[in-house]
Amino acid sequence: MESQLILHGVLLPAAFAFALVIAFARRHDRWMGVSLLLAFAISIANFDPIVAQPRQGAWTTVVLSLGIMVAIATIANHRGGSRASRAVACAVAGCASALILTLPEWVGAERRLLLAAALAVCSALLLPPGMHRGGFSFWCAQSLALAGVSLLALSSGFAKLAIPVGAVSALCGWVGVLALFTHPHRSVHAGISGSMAIMGVAVLSAAATYAFDTGELPASACVLAAVSPLGCWLGELPPFRMSRIASGLARILGCAVISGLVALVALRNSTQTQGDAYALRHAATATPIDAVHVRAR
């Protein structure tokens, strides 16, 4: 049963998105964000309707928020643009994404502003390595970072979110393997759209985990999970960037350390919940994780 869940929720969505990467994103990085979004959305679509009934707290609006970010990033995905134009794109995408998100803990104006600022700032910070580092180390680092986000959601009981984040993590890992067989001058870059998609998955998933946590998961774990993709900046620091090998290893190490901290905090504060946290709080409208197993058959 678990193998079927992994197949339909992680491997097949990641494989479909990976095919898109090979077909389009290798040549035009503006499609990288679309590929990451598809892996996330297809995985969720296997278990919950993407467009849920208009009700407060519909967690599947995370997909819509991520889609808005990717759409804006894809339009703005131009290497010749200035830093100011990219910063504006990040700010607009963060505000638009936070505006349409409907999560219980993020409905107030102050909370939405905080979420918009987090999305904009984190996306802007990931752009430099995302646009210029397209090798195995960058994608491996992002895969590890999102694996930590997935583990955080799983430890809180939010299995239906952990699965699609795991699909995106798997996709990043496969792109990293592809980068090993790609000439350095034709590296598979994340670009603006891919960088913003990665940060969108991390930040929005951490926010959703915090919103629907039914236990005592500390907010610090969610913050660490949200910023975990930025661990790749360790490879850009002066002690490491002089050597290509040292820079790549530091890039992976930075994300691995943050993900390890997220895993440690998550496991120590796990609620030991058997069902889905979303189903526990919204039993009348959600699909329990047992039903997810049934639908995956």
Is it the case that residue 287 has pLDDT exceeding 90? Answer: no
Average pLDDT for 286-296: 43
**pLDDT over 60 (residue 219):** yes
CB 134 within 8 A of CB 26: no
Bigger pLDDT: 234 vs 55: 234
What is the CB neighbour count within 10 angstroms for residue 148? 29
Residues 6+ apart with CB under 8 A from 263: 148, 151, 152
Cα 1 to the center of its chain, rounded Å:
25
Burial classification of residue 261, based on how many CB atoms lie within 10 Å of its CB (0-12 exposed, 13-18 middle, 19 or more buried):
middle
- Quick check: 284 pLDDT over 80? no
Burial (CB < 10 A; 0-12, 13-18, 19+), residue 281, is: middle
DSSP state of 10: I
Q: Which among 55-64, 127-136, 196-205 has the top mean pLDDT?
A: 196-205
Residues 154-201 pLDDT 10s: 888 888 899 999 999 999 999 999 988 876 666 788 889 999 999 999
For residue 108, the model assigns a pLDDT of: 85
Residue 134 and residue 176: Cα distance in Å, rounded?
A: 8
Q: How many CB atoms lie within 10 A of CB 6?
A: 16
Alpha-carbon gap, residue 113 to 101, rounded angstroms:
12
Parse the chain into domains and list their residue ranges: 2-295
> Euclidean distance between the first and final Cα of the chain, in Å?
7
Residue 145: is its pLDDT beyond 60? yes
Instruction: Name the amino acid, one letter, at 129.
Output: P
* Two tokens, residue 48: 């919950």
Give the residue, 297 or 176, on which the prediction is more confident: 176
Residues counted in the chain: 297
pTM metric for this prediction: 0.86
The answer to whether residue 57 scores a pLDDT higher than 50 is: no
pLDDT of residue 273: 45
Share of the chain above pLDDT 70, in %: 82
Given a contact cutoff of 8 angstroms between Cβ atoms, the answer to whether 200 and 164 are in contact is no
Backbone φ and ψ for 29, nearest 5 degrees, come out as -70, -5
Read off the pLDDT band of 53 (50, 70, 90): very low
Q: Name which of 104-118, 234-248, 257-271 the model is least confident about.
A: 257-271
pLDDT above 90 for 150: yes
Per-residue model confidence as pLDDT tens digits over 86-108: 899 999 999 999 998 888 788 88
**Closest by alpha carbon to 206, among 226, 224, 230, 220?**
226
d(CA 278, CA 281): 5
